[in-house]
Structure 1
Amino acid sequence: MQGILYGVGIGPGDPELLTLKAARIIREADVIAVPGTKKEETVAWQITVQAVPEITEKECLEIHMPMTKEKTALKESHDAAAKQVAAVLKTEKNVAFLTLGDPSVYSTYLYVHKRILAMGYRAEMVSGIPSFCAAAARMNIGLVEKAEPLHVIPASYQIEDALKLPGTKVLMKAGKKMQEVKKQLLQMENTETLMIENCGMPGEKLYRGAEEIPETAGYYSLIIVKEKE
């Protein structure tokens, strides 16, 4: 019998947004996996330990997941991560892999999930509150109404065409391209732009209007662009 891998979405940052199911799976798991080389320095651990302090007593699998777009380096790191997890599953231990937001939305966990399934092990995902839903609630606004479409866009790639789409645009992971993203947002007409940095975490900041967005905003920044009524 083999262990099961659970990709556990822990929400965007506020430990109170962990679901009851996420907390239960984490408590029941034999091993906790985090995306980083030192668990205490990973954001996922820092959030989860506030809601489920028992994880400090559990075995932890620290997995190096570099922030890079270089395909070879990514493949090598994802392959290595899957091998680390598989080695634990082989010992009949269940693993809870902590991932920010929801594991199905731009999550690093997904790369491990697919590899573990391909290797013949069981892997399941535990849904978490997506960052853009938490951000909208924090800003006290709706994301979409009636027949409005919602577009979730990785802003670290080319977004010019995506910004022309009708409806509400959610820009995630702008990162080092924030200056370019801001420039494009300032050129848009008849739209309302809002941004939240570190939603639910210490140092949370809200910005209303593209002109307020700092070009040096951190990695955990999310932008919502709505069409004016």
Structure 2
Amino acid sequence: MPIGKLYGIGVGPGDPELLTVKAARLIDETDIIFAPQSKSGKPSVALNIVQDYVDKRDIPCEIYQPLFPMTEDKEELQRSWDEATDVLYEKLEQGKSAVFVTLGDPTVFSTFSYISSRLQNKGVEVELVPGITSFTACAARAGVQLTEQDDIMVVVPQVSEKLTKILPYVDTVVAMKTSRHLDVLEDCINQDPRQKDIVSVQNCTMDDENIVHGFVDNKKYFSTSIIKFRK
């Protein structure tokens, strides 16, 4: 029996209407849906986004919510990825198809990459289905043009020495998950003498979306700041 195919599907930032037509079709057709959760007992955010599509299926499918903890412990992360890979591979060996739903786009800071590489090493065919990224959705919701003409934009998940070195050459900075590094980000941006416009978006396209001009200081995980330097 041939090994089933795995689809890594980006489900966008939160609004179910931002799901692509192809992603919706595959969710309707697949045998298994894998939707990672960050904490035991806490529903998968990605699954919540596609739940209406799952509920409308004519034939029910299997749903698995492996635990991918929000931790810096590399051993714990490796263990969770290995366990999820083993469960997925066992199902795919039965000839079943599966989709792995992930927030935003599967090629941008997505945990799916770690599962995908493991399964590809086992001979599994993997197809990526792009989704709307959180930062492009944030820009759209805030009415911000990310780039114009030959602007240079950089997207960072966390501020490091790399950003401070390249910042003078950058026109737009997109800082994701700012709740983890807001103080460092503010210091870095404030050191640049250029005039700038800053907008922050929390829980983009979700029911409790919040758009603020400037940085916003709280612990919401889904926070993105867009900094545009004036010319």
Please report the TM-score for the alignment, with normalisation by the length of structure 2. Answer: 0.90
Per-residue CA shift, 1:31-85, capped at 9, x if unaligned? 1101026687111111111344336932111211111222222222211111111
**Aligned with 1:35: secondary structure?**
coil
Q: Which residue in 2 is equivalent to 1:190? A: 195
Is this contact kept in 1: 2:32–2:97, CA < 8 A?
yes
**Aligned with 1:117: secondary structure?**
helix
Query: What is the alpha-carbon distance in structure 1 between the residues aligned to residue 191 and residue 219 of structure 2?
Result: 19
Q: Which residue in 1 is equivalent to 2:11? A: 10
Tell me the matched-pair count.
226
Query: What is the alpha-carbon distance in structure 1 between the residues aligned to residue 24 and residue 54 of structure 2?
Result: 7
Is this contact kept in 2: 1:10–1:128, CA < 8 A?
yes
- Are residue 59 (structure 1) and residue 62 (structure 2) matched? yes
- Are residue 91 (structure 1) and residue 94 (structure 2) matched? yes
Q: Which residue in 1 is equivalent to 2:204? A: 199
Sequence identity, in percent?
A: 35
Query: What is the alpha-carbon distance in structure 2 between the residues aligned to residue 90 and residue 183 of structure 1?
Result: 51
Report the CA distance shift for 1:183/1:203 in structure 2 as closer, same or farther (over 3 A). Answer: farther
Unaligned runs of 5+ residues in structure 1 are none
Aligned counterpart for 1:160 among listed residues 152, 164, 184: 164
- The one-letter amino acid of 1:19's match is T
Report the CA distance shift for 1:176/1:40 in structure 2 as closer, same or farther (over 3 A). Answer: closer
- Following TM superposition, by how much is the alpha carbon of 1:155 offset from its aligned partner in structure 2, in angstroms? 1.8
Query: What is the alpha-carbon distance in structure 2 between the residues aligned to residue 5 and residue 87 of structure 1?
Result: 12
**Aligned with 2:96: secondary structure?**
coil
- The one-letter amino acid of 2:189's match is L
Is this contact kept in 2: 1:14–1:201, CA < 8 A?
yes
Query: What is the alpha-carbon distance in structure 2 between the residues aligned to residue 173 and residue 46 of structure 1?
Result: 20
Report the CA distance shift for 1:147/1:104 in structure 2 as closer, same or farther (over 3 A). Answer: same
Unaligned runs of 5+ residues in structure 2 are none
Please report the TM-score for the alignment, with normalisation by the length of structure 1. Answer: 0.90
Q: Which residue in 1 is equivalent to 2:138? A: 135
Is this contact kept in 2: 1:156–1:177, CA < 8 A?
yes
Q: Aligned-residue CA RMSD in angstroms?
A: 2.0
